[in-house]
Amino acid sequence: MKKLLHLKKEQQELMPLFNGAFIENKPIPFPNRNGSSAYSNLFYWAHLEALETSEFPLHPHEGFEIMTFVFKGSIEHYDTATKVWTPLGLGGVQVIQAGSGVQHAEKITKGTQLFQIWFDPDFSKSMIKDACYRDYQVNEFTSEKENAVERLIYLKDRGVISYDTPNISIEKLKFVSGKYQETLEENYTYSYYLLGGEVTVDNELMTKDDFLVLNSSKEVSITAKSTSELFVIKSLTNIEYPRFIDKY
């Protein structure tokens, strides 16, 4: 295993929003004058917890493919493409293909926890497309058991989500207490976020909200010390198209 990054929650960028209504911890924050921690085709990754109900006002996006995963609670979103407020509940996923440009707003209810992850789908292609929204409700996803691991596949060749960013897959793994082996593919980077529980990935101990990035390994050994949920993104290590982040 080649470990690229291991961040505890307190090592991630922590940001309160709207007078503390929301709190975000960001494994991959936005670029700043000190540079960027973006890699592969991942540009931004935030975990948000809503301590109060509040709203992100109307704001623009373009080019990126933005995915929101709701783990607790619910959200509503409005955009200038559909011009309606659309609810998304527990377990749902929203995909924004921002294309040539769109504006949207989000209402997030108290108690909600979610990811928002921005992918770079190749701006030379995405910027000439119209913006597109799609919501996927929890009943559109199914879990399967494989080697005693419960796998919820969000995005893969056989997944239900339609997406533009090439060479990515996204799944949530649920482990009961025990030891497991996971096979990794060469030339791919694996990004792990522990949603709950406690695991070791080879010799790396992960507790809730830890973020681990690794590659250059054919398999990893995972030991779950308790029932644990691990969110995993597999993405190509070397991106052939010019990335937006390379402009910084």
Give φ, ψ of 182 to 5 degrees. Answer: -120, 130
Of 83, 118, 141, which one is at a domain's C-terminal end?
141
pLDDT score of 89 more than 80: yes
Average pLDDT over the chain reads 93
Claim to verify: residue 181 and residue 224 sit in the same structural domain: yes
Indicate whether 19 and 128 sit together in one domain: yes
- Asked if residue 246 belongs to a domain, the reply is no
Which one of 101, 125, 141 terminates a domain? 141
Q: Give me the mean pLDDT over the 3-17 stretch.
A: 93
- Domain of 51 in residue numbering reads as 12-141
Q: Which pLDDT belongs to residue 3?
A: 65
Q: Would residue 4 count as lying in a domain?
A: no
| Cα Rg of the chain (Å, integer) | 18
Lowest mean pLDDT: which of 16-20, 78-82, 229-233? 78-82
What is the predicted pLDDT for the residue at 172?
A: 97
CA atoms within 13 A on the CB side of 42: 28
Tell me, yes or no, whether 20 and 120 share the same domain: yes
CATH code where residue 37 lies: 2.60.120.10
Domains contained in the chain, number: 2
Query: In terms of domains, do 130 and 164 share one?
Result: no
Do 19 and 103 reside in the same domain of the chain?
A: yes
Residue 107 predicted with pLDDT over 70 = yes
User: Which of 155, 124, 120, 123 lies closest to 38, judged by CA?
Assistant: 120
- Residues 163-185 pLDDT 10s: 999 999 999 999 999 999 999 99
Domain termination site, one of 141, 157, 192: 141
Read off the tokens for 25: 């911890």
pLDDT digits (tens, 9 = 90+) for 175-220: 999 999 999 999 999 999 999 999 999 889 999 999 999 987 788 9
Alpha carbons 73 and 52: distance in angstroms, whole number:
12
